[in-house]
Chain A
Amino acid sequence: MTKRVGMEVSVAIGEMVKMADVDVVAAYPITPQTHIVEHIAELVADGELNAEYVPVESEHSAMSACLGSAAVGARTFTATAGQGLELMHEVLYVASGMRLPIVMTVANRSLAAPLSVWGDHSDVMAVRDTGWIQIFCENGQDVVDNVICAFRIAEDNKVLLPVMVHLDGFHLSHVIEPMLFPEPEEVKDFLPPNKYPLPLNPAKPVAMGDFAPPFIYTEARWAHETALRQSKQTILKVWDEFAGKFGRQYKPVESYRADDAKTLLFTIGSFSETAMTAVDALREEGLDIGLVRLRLWRPFPFEELRAVVKGAETLIVLDRALSVGGPGGPVCSEIRSALYDANPRPKIVSFVGGLGGRDITVDGFSAIVKRGIELAKTGSDREFQMFGVRE
């Protein structure tokens, strides 16, 4: 039986890590991820979670320690945010290239300078190409469920890739929400023990993280690409199985009132909750609009995206990150590129907003949609619109 619990989302992540019976946690505290690792440290210190907690001196070391523990086949978890994610950047590629099933929650935060501890997706977009599976969450329940699913996906022997579970800093990490918690036995049943196929073992030595001369590097990259692309099948299977067991269904691309809508608003992360309310309000006004949110960021859900936009005339994409000096929003660039060959091809309007923790209200989303529809007709001399900026 599941039970409803009111709890801060960060603390709930700690509780899920405990239910997943993680073996090793190596982490460095950083706002707004701090409460996650604080709670896990507490659980380990109190003997409630039998795990090794490694209080490393930096995020670079955190991810490096995770490599070692995942390599011996231990269930491994870490969490970070913003600058911390950037400090571990180079090791992220090593984790995925070595195919180590580490699970990491990222409390998405903007990047300095200027210094900001508040949320946006600057950190995520900078690690877009690190070869990890990346899942976005909309609310606390999504986070709780997807942390459990993430271990299942990462450790599946058809996948063996690290997984990032993204939750918006503060907007999700620090919110107290009612969430349905599974029973520990249910999680145990859903999450079989981690069985890494070729762990470090003195009785059966292997070498990991080898040197790859030019004759084999391309093939190694292709093997990684194939694995990440094919991981979608397992992700779908795990989400379906989760739905069967716990009743909540996750999909790579999710939508709200989007069937046959002429205009679609795209969001990623927690802002879709407000955007849904805006969609309701705009529908009342007679606008034919729906909302689409990308849950799966990597592997990118090309097929699902193409299916959901079929029939739509205008797409309005809100990014919470900026590719400075480039095309504007990274999510919009990818959507544009995925739909370039679509026939008919919808008009696509890019908005960047919600940076550094700035809220976008229901009225804000309504304004974005109305301006987007207008720009789809008139066109714009700008690659993207910076929403709410005092120029």
Chain B
Amino acid sequence: MSNPKPDNELTSRDLEIGCIATTPGSASVNRTGDWRSQRPEFATLRCIKCGLCALYCPEGCIVENAGGAFEANLYYCKGCGICSRECPILAVTMKEES
């Protein structure tokens, strides 16, 4: 389904046999974090760079930034709060999405 058409213009004829996706990783374009009700905020200056948040993140969307601290990619983050619960120095707080 590597079709240049927008989603709502795809027809039954644009689908591969059995809806097979021929482009590996093509689902990564999907914005899967948009139903989040809370987002994690990282107190980067206090971060001790232990990486536990990234290790526990079930989405694998927490990555190390250039300074060695950790941040969530909100494009995919579902706001589960596990990073906040696991952070040993309480540097991740969950904030309501507006």
Determine if chain A interacts with chain B: yes
**A interface residues with partner B (beta carbon < 8 Å):** 97-100, 160, 197-198, 205-208, 210-212, 215-216, 219-220, 222-223, 226
Tell whether A206 pairs with B20 under 8 Å between CB atoms, given A215-B7, A216-B7.
Answer: yes
Q: Smallest CB–CB gap between B69 and chain A, Å?
A: 34
Interface string of B1-40 (1 = CB under 8 A from A): 1000001101111111111111010110000000000000
Contact (Cβ within 8 A) B12 A198: no
Say how far A208's CB is from chain B's closest CB, in angstroms: 5
| Chain B interface residues toward A at CB < 8 A | 1, 7-8, 10-22, 24, 26-27
In the complex, the answer to whether A205 meets B24 with C-beta atoms within 8 Å is yes
A220 and B21 contacting across the interface, CB-CB below 8 Å: no
Contact flag A210-B12 (CB < 8 Å), given A205-B24, A216-B7: no
Nearest 3 A/B pairs, CB to CB = A99-B18, A207-B21, A223-B12
Nearest chain B CB to A92 CB, angstrom units:
14
Instruction: Tell me how far the C-beta of A96 lies from the nearest C-beta in chain B, rounded to whole angstroms.
Output: 9
Query: Do the beta carbons of A198 and B20 come within 8 Å of each other?
Result: yes
- In the complex where A99-B17, A197-B17 touch, is A219 in contact with B22 (Cβ < 8 A)? no
Q: List 12 A-B contacts (CB under 8 A).
A: A97-B18, A97-B19, A99-B17, A160-B18, A198-B22, A206-B22, A207-B27, A210-B19, A212-B19, A216-B7, A219-B12, A223-B19
Which residues of chain B are within 8 angstroms of A100 by Cβ–Cβ distance? 18
| A220 with B19: CB separation less than 8 A | yes
A220 x B15 contact (CB < 8 A): yes
Contacts across chains A and B counted by CB atoms under 8 Å = 56
Task: List A contacts of B12 (CB < 8 A).
Answer: 219-220, 222-223, 226
Q: Hey, which chain B residues are within 8 Å of A208, CB to CB?
A: 18, 20-21
When chains A and B are docked, how far (Å) is the Cα of A98 from the Cα of B19? 7
> How far is it, in angstroms, between the C-alpha of A211 and the C-alpha of B11 when the chains are bound?
16
Closest to A96 in B: B18
Closest residue of chain B to A157 (Cβ to Cβ) is B17
Minimum CB distance partner of B11 in chain A: A219
Question: Measured between C-beta atoms, what is the minimum distance from A94 to chain B in Å?
Answer: 10
Task: Please tell me if the beta carbons of A210 and B21 are within 8 angstroms of each other in the complex.
Answer: yes
Residues from chain A with Cβ under 8 Å of B15 in the complex: 216, 219-220, 223
Q: Say how far B33's CB is from chain A's closest CB, in angstroms.
A: 15
Q: Bound state CA distance, A69 and B20, in angstroms?
A: 16
Partner among A97, A206, A223, A226 whose Cβ is within 8 Å of the Cβ of B21 = A206
Query: Complex Cα distance A210/B11, Å?
Result: 16
Complex alpha-carbon distance, A212 and B30, angstroms: 12
Q: Which A residues are CB-close (under 8 A) to B10? A: 215-216, 219
A212 to chain B: which residues have CB within 8 Å? 19
Distance A205 CA – B1 CA, assembled complex (angstroms): 13
Nearest-Cβ distance from residue A173 to partner chain B, whole angstroms: 31
Q: Which residue of B lies closest to A199 (CB)?
A: B20
Of listed A97, A210, A220, A226, residue having the most chain B CB within 10 A: A210
A2 to B92, CA, bound (A): 77
A54 to B12, CA, bound (A): 35
**Nearest CB of chain A from residue B11's CB, rounded to whole Å:** 6
Residues of A within 8 A of B22 (CB): 198, 206
Residue of B whose beta carbon sits closest to that of A215: B7
How far, in angstroms, from A208 to B20 measured CA to CA in the complex?
Answer: 5
In whole Å, how far is B9's beta carbon from the nearest beta carbon of chain A? 10
| Given A97-B19, A99-B17, A210-B21, 17 other A-B residues pairs in contact with their CB atoms under 8 A | A98-B19, A98-B20, A99-B18, A160-B17, A197-B17, A198-B22, A206-B22, A207-B24, A208-B20, A212-B19, A216-B7, A216-B19, A219-B14, A220-B19, A222-B12, A223-B13, A226-B12
